[in-house]
């Protein structure tokens, strides 16, 4: 048997969904909600300092995502820094959740998952697929379309859309 021995599981399985979420899209929302069907608690973990020129600061992202999931006591949002496996250990997480949109996501995700397993053999990575209509969505594309004046309604939660307009308003003044 090569399956590692697991430590005592915490009361209620907790999953971490790490990412930049700059901004949160409906693709992320889809994965977060799906993961609540598998885990008692889900932590949306916003990686600090991931981008050089972010649209929203990590703290702003935490506030916006918190607003989107206000009615879900089983979904928590916070920032994290450093090694994901260390953070997962501190949170006593059972799994890392990642979304897979297309085959192009696979290679990088596969590498990351195996590296994380090397660092922490008891931590599983769970890959989930979003609903088909979100498979082409990315935060980068949303920012690009929005900055060129495109309509992002239906692609991001309304709280995100509102915050994007507010940010644009601030920037153009």
Question: Which residue number, 143 or 168, has a Cβ lying nearer to ligand ADP?
Answer: 143
Q: Residue 56 burial by CB count (10 A; 0-12/13-18/19+): exposed, middle or buried?
A: buried
**Chain CA centroid to CA 48, Å:** 12
Q: Closest separation between CB of residue 1 and ligand ADP, Å? A: 30
Region 98-137 residues binding ligand ADP, contact defined as CB under 6 A: 98-99, 101, 105, 130, 134, 137
Q: 3-state DSSP call for residue 128?
A: strand
Q: Closest separation between CB of residue 173 and ligand ADP, Å? A: 28
Q: Closest separation between CB of residue 54 and ligand ADP, Å? A: 11
Q: Closest separation between CB of residue 11 and ligand ADP, Å? A: 26
Using the contact rule CB under 6 A, the part of the chain among 19-27, 58-66, 68-76, 145-153 near ligand ADP is 19-27
- Give the span between the Cα atoms of 11 and 21, in whole angstroms: 28
User: What Cα–Cα distance (Å) separates residue 44 from each residue in 65, 84, 144?
Assistant: 8, 12, 24
Using the contact rule CB under 6 A, the part of the chain among 17-25, 37-45, 60-68, 76-84 near ligand ADP is 17-25
Q: Residue 140 burial by CB count (10 A; 0-12/13-18/19+): exposed, middle or buried?
A: exposed
Q: Which of 28, 41, 61, 98 is catalytic?
A: 28
Known active-site residue 140: no
Q: Residue from 16, 27, 146, 160 that binds ligand ADP (CB under 6 A)?
A: 27
- Give the span between the Cα atoms of 85 and 95, in whole angstroms: 10
Residues with a catalytic annotation lie at 28, 52, 101, 139
């Amino acid at each position: 048997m090569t399956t590692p021995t697991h430590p005592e599981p915490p009361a209620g399985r907790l999953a971490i969904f790490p990412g930049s979420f700059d901004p949160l899209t409906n693709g992320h929302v889809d994965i977060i909600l799906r993961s609540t069907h598998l885990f008692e608690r889900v932590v949306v973990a916003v990686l600090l300092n991931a981008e050089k020129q972010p649209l929203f600061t990590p703290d702003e992202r935490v506030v916006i995502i918190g607003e989107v999931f206000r009615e879900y006591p089983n979904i928590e949002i916070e920032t994290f820094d450093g090694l994901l496996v260390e953070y997962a250990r501190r949170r006593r997480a059972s799994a890392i959740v990642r979304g897979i949109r297309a085959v192009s996501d696979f290679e990088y995700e596969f590498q990351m998952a195996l590296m994380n397993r090397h660092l922490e053999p008891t931590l599983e990575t769970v890959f989930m697929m979003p609903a088909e209509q979100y498979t082409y969505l990315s935060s980068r594309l949303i920012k690009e379309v929005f900055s060129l004046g495109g309509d992002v309604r239906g692609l991001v939660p309304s709280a995100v859309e509102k915050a994007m307009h507010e940010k644009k308003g601030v920037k153009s003044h």
